[in-house]
Structure 1
Amino acid sequence: MKYLILVSHGEFSKGLRTTLGMFAKESMDSVIAVGLQPDEAVDHLSKRFNKTIDELPENSKFVVLADLIGGSPLTTICNILEEHGKLQDSLVLGGMNFPMALTTLLSKDAMDNETLKSVALSEGSSAIKEFESKSDDSSDDEI
């Protein structure tokens, strides 16, 4: 099975997982949320995630979405995946947002990592835009 691991500082990954469940309830058994809590040592996060990995089937594969590339939560998770010999075959992306996570969740089993990377990054970046409210300016033109 290919798992989607959401990695963040604080509760962001858990909140994102909850929201994904509103759209893709049938796929949630393959989503793991991991967050480095305030005042938590990375050693504790490492132990928690190691326990999670140990409970998964040996042939598991991973797609990792993180809030921030280079942050302690992601580097810790990547170190654990490397220790288990799983990092090389994993796809790891940063800057996660909801559209990126939903697309990744729904596409991870149907696409190879290179195609999934392209689609997920495109979806994540195209979702970032300004909301523009359309107003009725016709009343301003009347005198």
Structure 2
Amino acid sequence: MSYLILVSHGRFSEGLKDALSMFVGDSIHTVKAIGLQSGEDTISFGNRFKSLLSDIGSDADLVVLGDIIGGSPLTTVCNILEQAGRLSTTVVLGGMNFPMALNAAILKDTSSSQDLISATLLEASSAVKQFTVHHEDDEDEEI
């Protein structure tokens, strides 16, 4: 079984998981969310992550999405995964957004790691663009 772990500052990951539940239905039980809360130190956060990780079988595949590469939450999670001997087999991506998380949630059980990485990063970047409204010219409208 594969798990998607959403990692963020604050409650961003929890909100993202809530939004994902509208799209992935029962598969949401394989999505976990954890965020470094305001005023929380990384030791406390790390202990919460260790608890979350202990609920996941050691043979499970992991995909970790973080809000910011180099941020304390993702760095802490990666350090704990390394200590547990699981980092080298875990897919870790940063710059998390909704399209990226949705794609990872859908593909995590059916795609190879490399295919998941390619598709997820492509979806994440292609979804970021300016929204524009196109108006039809008044001359083109029939009265």
Output the TM-score relative to the length of structure 1.
0.93
Q: Quick check: 1:105 aligned with 2:109? A: no
Partner of 1:3: 3
Q: How large is the RMSD of aligned CA atoms in angstroms?
A: 1.0
**Which residues of 2 match residues 93-132 of structure 1 at below 5 A?**
93-132=93-132
Question: How many angstroms apart in 2 are the aligned matches of 1:113 and 1:11?
Answer: 27
Identify unmatched segments of 5+ residues in structure 1: none
Question: How many angstroms apart in 1 are the aligned matches of 2:70 and 2:17?
Answer: 21
Q: Quick check: 1:33 aligned with 2:37? A: no
Q: Quick check: 1:75 aligned with 2:75? A: yes
* Displacement of 1:135: 2.2
Identify unmatched segments of 5+ residues in structure 2: none
Question: How many angstroms apart in 2 are the aligned matches of 1:110 and 1:55?
Answer: 22
Aligned residues: 139
Where 1:130 maps in the other structure, the secondary structure is coil
* Displacement of 1:58: 2.1
Percent sequence identity over aligned pairs: 48
Q: Is the 8 A contact 1:61 1:86 kept in 2?
A: no
* Displacement of 1:30: 0.5
* Displacement of 1:9: 0.5
Where 2:89 maps in the other structure, the secondary structure is coil
**Structure 1 segments of 4 or more deviating over 6 A?**
none
Partner of 1:57: 57
Output the TM-score relative to the length of structure 2.
0.93
* Displacement of 1:84: 1.2
* Displacement of 1:54: 1.4
Question: How many angstroms apart in 2 are the aligned matches of 1:10 and 1:56?
Answer: 22
